[in-house]
Structure 1
């Protein structure tokens, strides 16, 4: 029995690189698709937002001399490429999937609106919402917070390469310890970087809990949905 009825799954663009230095690793893409298929078969309604960092990151583009707005727009297009790739991998595994875009670009994807997204979810489609918020200066974390709130998700699942939230960066500090759960207020007071401040505040103010977990370990998504105690739960 699934723990949640409707979720927003946030995937990192960088994770799609798998073992590569750039772009999309087909093995990782298909692993993600099969994990998503597992929970779709549990009857879960799944909205997805993917970053674009494996292709282009607006902020790093700005530091290299790109105009920030143009850089962010390039990043938005990168998320569309990733969304099309995931949609294609899901369909190949027999899962109904639709790509919605925050900027008009038919026939690549349907133009996003909340009501259409919910209608597609209720019809059993995995709905991949691309293009961020459609505006520059917002991260894909903020985009996923916004979409999660709009589609009235029960929870946001943030799939990363780390298995939760730690007192410090576990890749740099061997003494870092993991939280099984933590409040939004504690994230602020400890200065922990789960997502950017805008994204975190949106979830807090709209009472959307987040589970941060390691998506790169096969089967973990189903474990989270089954209520297994993996990752870190963030709540009010």
Structure 2
């Protein structure tokens, strides 16, 4: 597959981390957290600062499913369950990075400092209807950043779900117009897409690019942050 070249230099980077790689199957992936901590610590010494926004993942969907099994639940209530799942994951991240992170996890993206002193800032879900992808994009816009890196459990965006469709092919690069046709325009609580429709609309309108990479491939992430060739999908 094609590898992308890049010229990234240390600056402030917004990472949107899919909750499904933090809590993949009901259990927290401690090996992933160890690898992420080592990578972030290494890159922070090179001058990078990170705003990490983490999703709810399996925790979110477990709580939403339980609520729906017991009673009729509104979309807003489902969203709030998801939001609190992201905040639980966010507090886990803040605890892990406490030696280099801002002491407070931000729930409101409009309050994230534009010029952070710490190497790491943690943020989580905000309001119903807005995913952590949206929060990450709002923060990038606030900081004047033109890039969000999305850490997912796939190497590339695919034309279809490769787990269900053997004819699915990877996409190395795609524009926002075509990507938005793929994901649609409506947010659904617990939605599991590489980058959600509401966040995609804001990124498109704000001329913010998104790079989707496999969050567990730390060597690839290291190359990306070092300004070297990397694997992933660029949405622009």
Once the 2 structures are TM-superposed, how far is the Cα of residue 225 of structure 1 from its aligned partner? 1.6
Q: Indicate the residue corresponding to 1:8 in structure 2.
A: 14
Structure 1 CA distance, aligned partners of 2:32 and 2:210? 23
The answer to whether 1:170 aligns with 2:162 is yes
Q: What is residue 102 of structure 1 aligned with on the other side?
A: 107
Q: Are 1:117 and 2:121 counterparts?
A: no
Contact 1:61 1:68 in 2 (8 A): no
Partner of 1:229: 230
Q: Is the 8 A contact 2:26 2:59 kept in 1?
A: yes
Which residue of the other structure, out of 68, 74, 83, is the alignment partner of 1:67?
Answer: 74
Q: Secondary structure at the match of 1:118?
A: coil
Instruction: Tell me whether 51-60 or 149-158 shows the greater mean CA deviation.
Output: 51-60
Aligned residue in 2 for 1:136: 128
Alignment partner, residue 36 of structure 2: 32
Tell me the TM-score normalized by structure 2: 0.80
Task: Determine if the alignment matches structure 1 residue 76 to structure 2 residue 83.
Answer: yes
**1:118-175 C-alpha deviation (Å, 9 max, x unpaired):** 232xx13301112x2x221222222222222222223100001101112222222333
Q: Given the superposition, is the C-alpha separation of residues 194 and 83 from structure 1 closer, same or farther in structure 2, using an over 3 Å criterion? A: closer
Counterpart of 2:153 in structure 1 is 161
**98 and 149 in structure 1: CA distance in 2 versus 1, 3 angstrom threshold:** farther
Determine if contact 1:49/1:144 at 8 Å carries over to the other structure: yes
Question: What is the CA–CA distance in structure 2 between the aligned matches of 1:189 and 1:119, rounded to whole Å?
Answer: 35
Q: Is the 8 A contact 2:90 2:123 kept in 1?
A: yes
Residues 1:43 and 2:43 aligned together:
no
TM-score, normalised relative to structure 1:
0.80
Tell me by how many angstroms 1:191 deviates: 5.3
8 Å CA contact 2:180, 2:201 repeated in 1: no
Q: Is the 8 A contact 1:98 1:126 kept in 2?
A: no
Q: Which runs of 5+ in 2 are unaligned?
A: 1-6, 185-192
C-alpha separation between the residues in 2 aligned to 1:149 and 1:61? 35
- 1:204 equivalent to 2:187? Answer no
Computed over aligned residues only, the root mean square deviation of the Cα atoms, in angstroms, reads 2.5
**Higher RCO (CA < 8 A, seq sep 6+):** 2
Q: Residue 54 of structure 2 contacts residue 89 of structure 2 at CA under 8 Å; is this kept in 1? A: yes
Rounded to whole Å, the distance in 1 between the matches of 2:230 and 2:106 is 34
**Structure 1's 40 and 71: CA in aligned 2 closer, same or farther, altered over 3 A?**
same
Whether 1:179 aligns to 2:171 is yes
| Separation (CA, whole Å) in 1 of partners of 2:52 and 2:89 | 11
